[in-house]
Chain A
Amino acid sequence: MYQHTRFNNKNNFFQKFGSLDYVLLSCLLILGFISLATMYSTDGGEVLFHTRSHFIKFIVFFSMMIVISFINIKFWFSLGYLSYAIILGMLIWTVNFGITASGSKRWIDLYFLNLQPSELMKIFIILCLAKYFHRMKTQHVNSFYAICFSLIIIFIPMSLVIIQPDLGTSLLIAISGIVVLWFAGLNHKYFFYSCLLSIISLPIIISFLKPYQKLRVLTFLNPDRDPLGAGYQIIQSKIAVGSGGITGKGFLKGTQSYLEFLPEKHTDFIFTLYSEEFGFIGSVLLLLIYSIIIYRVIRIGALSRSYFAKLFCYSFGTSIFIYIVINMSMVLGLLPIVGSPLPIMSYGGSSMLATMIGFGIVMSAKTHSQQSIA
């Protein structure tokens, strides 16, 4: 047994290289390529700022992911609390010294990159909670202390993000955390009751929303209420997707985006543009790629020996899935508009960085799948 472990511990670089998940890697590369092409289209068929910047970010962070995958999963395990604390520090820094853009303070100026710590928190909260629950005995998971502690872990970054203000990201952080709680084995009834409670308290929550957020909810319920104002984004987005048809208008021929009817086409609404140009077939294909990626992430989790790796992979895969679903539902008019990027597709360094770190850790779990964490 010992020898077996030793043998495994000794696995060298080439062995690690061979054990990378190439299906996942190629899917990520294809997705990167698609996102670059779409970005090229948002720039009106020219290689302009967004395309170039997105390209560089993708290459850099993709390489970073490969590097991360060679680092032992143990390292990430040990880093769990520390990284959470660092990001939390960054969030506090942001609240005080962040860069303000379009009415909210979300970014830290790192000279080469404007970092959005809230995006990173989406990943590191999973890491932190996964570590927290890794050692916990089953009977302790549902203890009052554990629940309180994990809720505090979720609540602190969430509130720090909410005051930026950035409701969308804070909800996504909360969802990431709750997903971990779910996998960690928190009793079903807690989820059931909290769901019930939140539905009942929905009117009260709405009364606490900012006017523009209330408007978004109202607009979601009836986009035609103010077609040129609050409803404009969602109406134009639906027009773009709907006019794409089965095969789409063709690459670089999306009139809605080309003629600037689409809002936020680089970031949250990038799927709209893609869908307009590539149609139903293209959209389903994109969903398929995302599904394969998520499937591979969960498969890696299933094959991992350590509970930590499993928990992280499952939670990360599910979170990514939820991000995608929220973004698409939003642009398709199924959910109110909340700022949430489409992983990898949307323009934005921090989101890309966070996602790639997540995939890196997953990949590291793959290369070190036989590694057990004490």
Chain B
Amino acid sequence: MINISDSATKLNSLNRRMFIIATAKIVILGGIVSRLFFLQVKENKKYLTLSDKNRIREWKLPPIRGEFKDYFGNTIAGNFEAYQLHIIPEEVEDFRYVIYRVKELLELSEKKFQKILKKKNEIKPWETLIVADNLSWEKFSKINNHLYDLNGVKPVISISRDYPYKENFTHVLGYVSQANENDVLTNENIKEKFVPGLKVGKTGLERSFEKRLIGSNSVERYEVNAYGRRISQLAFQKGDKGETIKLTIDTKIQELANELLKEKAGSICVMDIYTGAIIAMHSSPSFDPNSFVFGISQDEWQLIRNNPMKPLVNKSLSGNYSPGSTIKPIVALSALENEVIGKDFTVQCKGHKNPLELYGQTYHCWKKEGHGFVNLREAMKQSCDTYFYEVARRLGVDRLSVTAKKFGLGQKVFKDIFDNEKKGLVPNTEWKKNALGRNWVLGETIITGIGQGFIQTTPIQLCLMTAQIANGGYKIYPRIVANDESQYEDKFTPLYKNSRNIKIVQDAMFSSTNEVRGTSYRSRLNDLKYQFAGKTGTSQVKKITERDRELDLKTFQIPYEERDHALFIAFGPYINPRYALSIIIEHGGSGGTVAAPLAKELFKMIVDRHEIRKNYDNKKYLDI
């Protein structure tokens, strides 16, 4: 009986405790449900984002670069389909066999082969290994023929930069090459669009217009698993091709410039004197920019770098030269403007025997026997130095520098398009005091009058100067990009005080080319349609000593480095002028014999091409 009452108490206690536990269970269950509610309903957005972040990864593809066209729409920097060979290591059954087979087929060098093997070890097995980035068609088709044997090898056609005119546009366009760390760090656009293998502009317009050219990346969105392997493609967002930029350059003339400067170091610039459009701008020697696209070989690079003619320097923009006699039109103009001389002002040139003497220094004319009595027109025609010594002496360097600067010397011609453009130098007394800390001496004024001494100009500045004399003395703004909408308020503002002075200088330049005894008389074109006016220049690289004067060596007898630079500036056709040009040949000798004949060839083509150019895009063409 005790048993029964005991079991009753036991059952009682059991049920009571069950009740306590059941209550606890309900509370705990409530806790779990509220936790679920918190995670799945309240914080759902947060975790959904995290989950997507987990599983979705984006791959950027290289953007397609915009093209460069010349004035007539010819592509001068375009894109071509590069034949490449990709391998995804994990898709290859026997990597060793395949890679050796590829090596054999492509005749890869041992060095390159080791490079590929090294790269393979650096990447993940499902990432793409680029074995070759630019195969010839023969090798590409060879690979395609052997594909049955090369499991996992993918022949790919990808888009890459192509410069069809090779060395012709190198100094204008620059070149592209693989972006390096520095490019990424300094350029926001590149940073934003960077993908491995992205090619960016390294110099020239390719670099300056990077932002417009680069385009936007195509984006592939993939679902990936926890190990980063792509499972499926979710979206493909096509990027935009970069902007196509049209230049003002005429490829035919550019090619002619290249032809004329073959084997020489120098520059040719041709400009429309009203629109400021650059028709041609070439610096020689040049190099083939295509070799940089896939990385240049060390040998080739050394060859370019060590060439004494300096192919890497864009001489049109960053070559600082003493203008020599090509400064004379500005000296004359400045003197006329400041009414220091009249057009009939006469000086006697007595030749080497009786040079101009000032404070113990002698100033020689280039002509041994002298020019006799010369007025402005004669002095310009025969490029008499003595005359301009006297004019410079009377004018003074400060007044000269004002005119020179007005006509575009001593400052950048293109605002900031080319980062390698030099400013040149137009000296004056104040400049010397600030820069060198010494006072200006009269002798320096005298030699500035014939474009020697401190004065430095770039070929494009000389071209602009000539153009602004040729158009009647009005300000223009050179441009190389067609349809450039930038507006300058002071366009065509007169640079002269008296337009008659411009006429006098133009006439003097005409005589220099088209009249007997003119320094470029031999290069004249008699047909009125082509007839041009010019001014030669021969700028000394080193001071001529008495001994040199006595020896009177021919150009080829002097060591290359010490030969004079030959210069020529010109505009034409003389009736209704339209184009101006500047030619410089480094260490070429005398301007009259070396540089001026090139102008003859150029003007023939420039004038012929004018009609075509005029009719090409009628609406936009400024016809004056």
Question: Which residue numbers of A lie inside 8 Å of B, CB to CB?
Answer: 137-138, 182-185, 236, 238-246, 255-256, 259-261, 275, 279-280, 283-284, 287, 291, 294, 298, 301-302, 307, 310-311, 314, 318, 321, 325, 328-329, 332, 334
Q: Are B29 and A291 in contact (CB under 8 A)?
A: yes
Partner of B37, one of A185, A256, A280: A280
Given contacts A138-B9, A183-B18, A310-B11, contact A243 B50 (CB under 8 A): yes
Contact B225 A260 (CB under 8 A): yes
Report 8 cross-chain contacts, Cβ distance below 8 Å, ordered by A residue. A239-B51, A241-B40, A243-B50, A260-B227, A287-B29, A287-B32, A287-B33, A321-B25
Q: Is B220 close to A, CB under 8 A?
A: no
Q: A246-B40, A259-B225 are in contact. Are A284 and B33 (CB under 8 A)?
A: yes
Contact assessment for A259 and B47 in the assembled complex, using a CB-CB cutoff below 8 Å: no
Contact A245 B41 (CB under 8 A): yes
| A137-B33 CB under 8 A given contacts A183-B17, A185-B13 | no
Is B6 part of the contact surface with A, judged by Cβ < 8 Å? yes
- Which A residue's beta carbon lies closest to that of B15? A302
Is there a chain A Cβ closer than 8 Å to B575's Cβ?
no
- Scoring B15, B29, B37, B39 by chain A CB atoms within 10 A of each residue's CB, the highest score goes to B39
- Is A311 a contact partner of B21 (Cβ separation < 8 A)? no
Query: Which of chain A's residues have a CB closer than 8 A to the CB of B44?
Result: 242-246
Interface assignment of B605: CB less than 8 Å from any CB of chain A: no
Q: A334's contact among B13, B35, B48, by CB below 8 Å, is which?
A: B35
Q: Which of A183, A259, A287, A291: most chain B Cβ within 10 A?
A: A259
Cα distance A189–B10 in the bound complex, in angstroms? 18
Expressed in whole angstroms, the Cα–Cα distance for A325 and B33 within the complex equals 11
Q: Mark B49-64, 1 if CB is under 8 A from A, else 0.
A: 0110011000000000
Query: Which has the most chain B C-beta neighbours within 10 Å: A239, A279, A284?
Result: A239
Digit string of B318-333 for contact with A (CB within 8 Å is 1, else 0)?
Answer: 0000000000000000
Does B7 lie at the interface of the complex (its beta carbon under 8 Å from any beta carbon of A)? yes
Residues from chain B with Cβ under 8 Å of A261 in the complex: 54-55, 225-226
Chain A min CB distance to B618 (Å): 61
Closest to A246 in B: B41
Q: Which residue of B lies closest to A139 (CB)?
A: B6
Residues of chain B lying within 8 A (CB to CB) of residue A184: 14
Main secondary structure of the interface of A (DSSP, over half): helix
Question: What residue of chain A has the Cβ atom nearest to residue B25's Cβ?
Answer: A321
B117 at the interface (CB under 8 A from A): no
* Shortest distance from the beta carbon of A357 to any chain B beta carbon, whole Å: 22
Nearest Cβ distance between residue A136 and chain B, in whole angstroms? 8
Partner of B47, one of A137, A183, A241, A302: A241
Also in contact, A240 and B13, with CB within 8 A (given A245-B41, A255-B223): no
What are the 3 A-B residue pairs with the smallest beta carbon separation, nearest first? A242-B47, A243-B51, A259-B225
Whether A182 contacts B55 in the complex (CB less than 8 A), given A242-B47, A245-B44, comes out as no
Task: Please report the C-alpha to C-alpha distance between residue A138 and residue B225 in the assembled complex, in whole angstroms.
Answer: 60
B36 within 8 Å of A (CB atoms): yes
Would you call A280 and B227 a contact (CB within 8 A)?
no
B100 CB to nearest A CB, Å? 35
A242-B33 in contact (CB<8A): no
Which residues does chain B contribute within 8 Å of A255, judged by CB atoms? 51, 54-55, 223
Q: B92 to nearest A CB, angstroms?
A: 24
Is the CB–CB distance between A279 and B13 below 8 Å?
Answer: no
Please report the total number of B residues contacting A with Cβ < 8 Å. Answer: 39
What 20 new A-B contacts, CB under 8 Å, besides A242-B46, A242-B47? A137-B6, A184-B14, A238-B39, A239-B54, A243-B48, A245-B40, A255-B54, A256-B54, A256-B55, A283-B36, A287-B33, A291-B29, A310-B11, A311-B14, A314-B18, A318-B25, A325-B28, A329-B32, A332-B39, A334-B32
Residues on A with beta carbons closer than 8 Å to the beta carbon of B231: 259
Closest-CB distance, B36 to chain A (whole angstroms):
5
Q: A183-B17, A243-B48 are in contact. Are A279 and B40 (CB under 8 A)?
A: yes
Q: Does B442 sit at the interface, judged by CB under 8 A?
A: no
Given A260-B225, A280-B36, A332-B32, A239 contacting B14 (CB threshold 8 A) = no
B22 at the interface (CB under 8 A from A): yes
CB of B94 closer than 8 Å to a CB of A: no
Query: In the assembly, what is the distance between CA of A280 and CA of B225, in Å?
Result: 25
Query: Would you call B18 and A298 a contact (CB within 8 A)?
Result: yes
Residue pair B10, A185 in contact (C-beta under 8 Å)? yes
Minimum Cβ distance to chain A for residue B307 (Å)? 54
Q: Which residues of B contact A138 (CB under 8 A)?
A: 6, 9-10, 13
A325 lies within 8 A of B40 (CB) = no
Q: Are A241 and B225 in contact (CB under 8 A)?
A: no
- Complex Cα–Cα for A2 and B25 (A): 40
Residue contact A307 to B10, C-beta cutoff 8 Å: yes
Nearest residue in B to A248 (C-beta to C-beta)? B40
B601 lies within 8 A of chain A by Cβ: no
B43, CB-defined interface residue at 8 Å: yes
B116 at the interface (CB under 8 A from A): no
Instruction: Answer whether A307 and B35 are a contact pair too, CB < 8 Å, given A255-B223, A256-B54.
Output: no
CB of B415, distance to nearest CB on chain A (Å): 51
User: What is the bound-complex CA distance between A240 and B231, given in angstroms?
Assistant: 18
**Would you call B88 an interface residue if the criterion is a C-beta within 8 Å of the partner chain's C-beta atoms?**
no
B260 to chain A, nearest CB (A): 65
**Given A245-B48, A280-B36, A284-B33: A260 in contact with B14 (beta carbons within 8 A):** no
Nearest-neighbour CB distance to chain B for A270, whole angstroms, equals: 15
Answer yes or no: B219 CB below 8 A from chain A CBs: no
Tell me, in angstroms, the Cα distance from A185 to B9 when the chains sit together: 10
Selected contact of B7 from candidates A238, A245, A307, CB within 8 Å = A307
- CB of B130 within 8 Å of the partner chain: no
| B98 contacts chain A at the CB level, 8 A cutoff | no
Q: Give which listed residue, B10, B22, B225, contacts A298 with CB less than 8 A.
A: B22
Complex contact B51–A240 (CB within 8 A)? yes
For residue A329, give the distance in angstroms from its CB to the closest CB of chain B.
7
- CB pair A242–B17 under 8 Å, yes or no, is no
Q: Find chain B residues with CB under 8 A from A332 CB.
A: 32, 35-36, 39
Whether B224 is near chain A, meaning CB under 8 Å from some CB there, is: yes
Residue of A nearest to B26 (CB): A291
**Given contact pairs A138-B13, A246-B40, A260-B227, A239 touches B47 in the complex (Cβ within 8 A):** yes
- Residues on B with beta carbons closer than 8 Å to the beta carbon of A245: 40-41, 44, 48
Q: Which residues does chain A contribute within 8 Å of B17, judged by CB atoms? A: 182-183, 185
| Contact B13–A242 (Cβ < 8 Å) | no
- Complexed CA–CA distance, A335 and B39 (Å): 15
A104: shortest Cβ distance to chain B, in Å? 24
Look across to chain A and name the residue whose beta carbon is closest to the beta carbon of B32. A328
Q: A287-B32, A321-B25, A328-B32 are in contact. Are A242 and B50 (CB under 8 A)?
A: yes
**Chain A: which residue is nearest B16 at the CB level?**
A185
- Contact partner of B36 among A183, A239, A241, CB < 8 A? A241
Shortest Cβ gap from A326 to chain B (Å): 10
Chain A residues near B32 (CB-CB < 8 A): 287, 325, 328-329, 332, 334
CB distance from A244 to the nearest CB of B (A): 5
Return A370 CB to nearest CB of chain B, in Å: 16
Complex Cα gap A185–B17 (Å): 8
In the complex, the answer to whether A241 meets B39 with C-beta atoms within 8 Å is yes
Nearest opposing residue in chain B for A283, CB measure? B36
Which residues of chain B (189-228) have a CB below 8 Å from chain A? 223-227
Please indicate the chain B residues that have their CB under 8 angstroms from the CB of A240 in the complex.
51
Q: Which B residue's beta carbon lies closest to that of A372? A: B7
Across the interface, B14 reaches (CB within 8 A) one of A183, A287, A329, namely A183
CB distance from A249 to the nearest CB of B (A): 9
Return B8 CB to nearest CB of chain A, in Å.
Answer: 10
